[in-house]
Amino acid sequence: MDHSFENYIPARVSSKVDTDCWIWNGTFTRKGYGRKGSGAKYKSMHQWQWEEKFGPVPDGLVLDHLCGVRICCNPDHLEAITNEENIRRGRAGRNNPYRERCKRGHLRSEGGSYWIKKNGKDYPICVPCQKERYQKLRSDPEFIAKLKSPEHRAKVAEYQRKRRQDPAYRALCNERSRISKEKKKQQAQQLEQ
């Protein structure tokens, strides 16, 4: 059997017309990347294709799929970048709360976000995105009718009653009150000076 580049690739690749991706139909790694080789000498298919076309990947760089398809082995869909940039761009990067921008492109560094704790993890909340959501809700008559309904008001009252009975919530309220009093005291002292 001939394992030359020209014969090996077409037999195991199908092309996606709409994206120009070369979809690998051979074996895969555990992470979902196509692989080529046998025994202990496996190589990622996209890396092998890159090296065939452009030469070895430069030291300190990794290959990024610009198309986002892990089983694509089209070397024109690859870019050699640093591992940090690859993480930022990749799936981990999309969920990474420390990214520069939110998923709609608003900058976080310009005070456009704040953090909340959810299930023990910190998550950023994009202020412009939240404002857009609230504006849509405020203009929705069904949503406003729901807020004014007696059933909704009863649910809110029950939630607030349970929350006031929670010792952790009371401690949080007391801490906020203490901080607020300290700030007011500092402002009064500054005005006196």
Does 12 share its domain with 31? yes
Gyration radius of the chain over CA positions? 27
Let me know if residue 161 belongs to a domain: yes
Does 19 share its domain with 84? yes
Residues of the chain with pLDDT under 70: 1-19, 38-40, 90-101, 103-105, 108-112, 122
pLDDT at 2: 43
Please give the C-alpha separations between residue 110 and each of 106, 114, 129, 144, 164, in angstroms, as whole numbers: 9, 11, 14, 32, 35
Does 48 share its domain with 104? no
SS3 at position 140: coil
CATH number for the domain spanning 14: value is 3.90.75
Which run of H or E residues covers position 151? helix 150-165
Does 17 share its domain with 70? yes
Domain count, the chain: 3
Residues spanned by the domain of 167: 150-192
Let me know if residue 52 belongs to a domain: yes
pLDDT at 162: 84
Let me know if residue 33 belongs to a domain: yes
pLDDT at 4: 43
pLDDT at 40: 65
pLDDT at 154: 92
Let me know if residue 125 belongs to a domain: yes
pTM attached to this predicted model: 0.45
Let me know if residue 145 belongs to a domain: no
Does 90 share its domain with 107? no
Let me know if residue 40 belongs to a domain: yes
Does 56 share its domain with 78? yes
- Provide CB contacts within 8 A for 167, sequence distance 6+: none
